């Protein structure tokens, strides 16, 4: 199966993938031959640290072979049509995971191949990150009834978190400046699990998890100046965290900008789980990959 969107996994699959990721973290040796020598393609059109390392290491830890290629090397959509590239890749690879600019690249891949296609990030969603986020929350508290406050840009990360919350029993409050709300189709898909709250203090009040992301995503750097002005009241500070539940944790998908969306004191605080979250990208990817290869029930 493909994993282009957090919505591609049902509630049942979400539960299985999260549980298996936690088991992989606790018992990695149980999955050390899970790929059995299969080759997995890793395509990057954008810079990456956590995504590149976690996917490459994840394949290696399950006895697979990772082939990393870049946009500069193969020219998807420039040198060759995405659909042609996918049909070539499926002759060599068991699956391909892709970090791209445009979500349409992923959908064209998926429409032209039965080989699993996994979204490592697109302009629409970041579903692998959302799985790692849910795994991190599950390490801290039961998912059912958890209130997650997302403060900042209603971007691809927010979109996937909304869909994840709706499928895992969480409630998510999204607090963004006017004009930066999540896309309406994702808010609609989130149903009763999502609430848009303009005031960040109100959004964070009593929340079990406080989450933020960069104010300016890759590709939007030309707008960084006025974005800083628009988001000035949406910075996660110790004072804002104090409004959350006394046992609340802080999450950030990284990289973080200390002078913008979050104070360094928050990242270094006892509430912060950002580096656990980064580690969990590894376990989440491994679990997602096995699910997409239809090996979800095997060990």
Q: Which of 20, 153, 253, 273 is catalytic?
A: 253
Q: Which of 8, 20, 123, 129 is catalytic?
A: 129
Q: Which of 159, 281, 283, 292 is catalytic?
A: 281
Beta carbons of 93 and 41 less than 8 angstroms apart: yes
Residues contacting residue 211 through CB under 8 Å, at least 6 positions apart:
133, 148, 149, 150, 151, 161, 250, 251, 252
Is residue 253 annotated as part of the catalytic site, yes or no? yes
Q: Which of 8, 123, 213, 245 is catalytic?
A: 213
Q: Scanning the structure block, which residue is given the tokens 């005031």?
A: 199
Is residue 281 annotated as part of the catalytic site, yes or no? yes
Is residue 129 annotated as part of the catalytic site, yes or no? yes
Of 288, 298, 299, the closest CA to residue 117 belongs to 288
Is residue 126 annotated as part of the catalytic site, yes or no? yes
Q: Which of 2, 20, 50, 126 is catalytic?
A: 126
Q: How far apart are CA 251 and CA 273, in angstroms?
A: 6
Is residue 208 annotated as part of the catalytic site, yes or no? no
Is residue 159 annotated as part of the catalytic site, yes or no? no
Of 168, 139, 132, the closest CA to residue 252 belongs to 132
Q: How far apart are CA 284 and CA 135, in angstroms?
A: 7
Q: Which of 2, 20, 50, 99 is catalytic?
A: 99
- Give me the active site residues, please: 99, 126, 129, 213, 253, 281
């Amino acid at each position: 199966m493909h994993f282009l969107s957090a919505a591609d996994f049902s509630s049942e699959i979400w539960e299985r993938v999260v549980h298996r990721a936690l088991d992989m973290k606790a018992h990695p040796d149980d999955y050390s031959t899970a790929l059995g020598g299969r080759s997995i393609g890793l395509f990057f059109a954008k810079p990456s640290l956590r995504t590149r390392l976690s996917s490459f290491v994840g394949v290696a830890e399950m006895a697979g072979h990772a082939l990393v290629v870049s946009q500069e090397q193969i020219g998807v959509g420039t040198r060759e049509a995405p659909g042609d590239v996918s049909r070539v890749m499926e002759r060599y690879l068991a699956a391909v995971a892709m970090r791209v600019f445009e979500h349409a690249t992923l959908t064209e891949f998926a429409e032209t191949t039965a080989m699993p296609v996994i979204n490592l990030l697109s302009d629409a969603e970041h579903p692998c990150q959302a799985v790692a986020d849910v795994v991190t929350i599950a390490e801290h508290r039961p998912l059912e009834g958890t209130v997650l406050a997302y403060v900042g840009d209603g971007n691809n990360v927010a979109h996937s978190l909304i869909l994840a919350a709706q499928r895992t029993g969480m409630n998510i409050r999204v607090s963004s400046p006017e004009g930066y709300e999540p896309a309406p189709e994702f808010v609609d898909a989130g149903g009763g699990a999502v609430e848009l709250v303009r005031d960040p203090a109100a959004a964070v009040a009593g929340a079990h998890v406080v989450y933020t992301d960069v104010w300016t995503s890759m590709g939007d750097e030309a707008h960084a100046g006025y974005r800083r002005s628009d988001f000035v009241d949406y910075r996660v500070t110790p004072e804002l965290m104090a409004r959350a539940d006394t046992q609340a944790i802080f999450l950030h998908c990284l990289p973080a900008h200390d002078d913008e969306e979050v104070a360094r004191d928050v990242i270094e605080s006892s509430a912060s789980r950002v580096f656990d979250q980064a580690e969990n990208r590894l376990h989440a990817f491994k679990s997602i990959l096995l699910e997409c290869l239809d090996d979800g029930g095997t060990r």
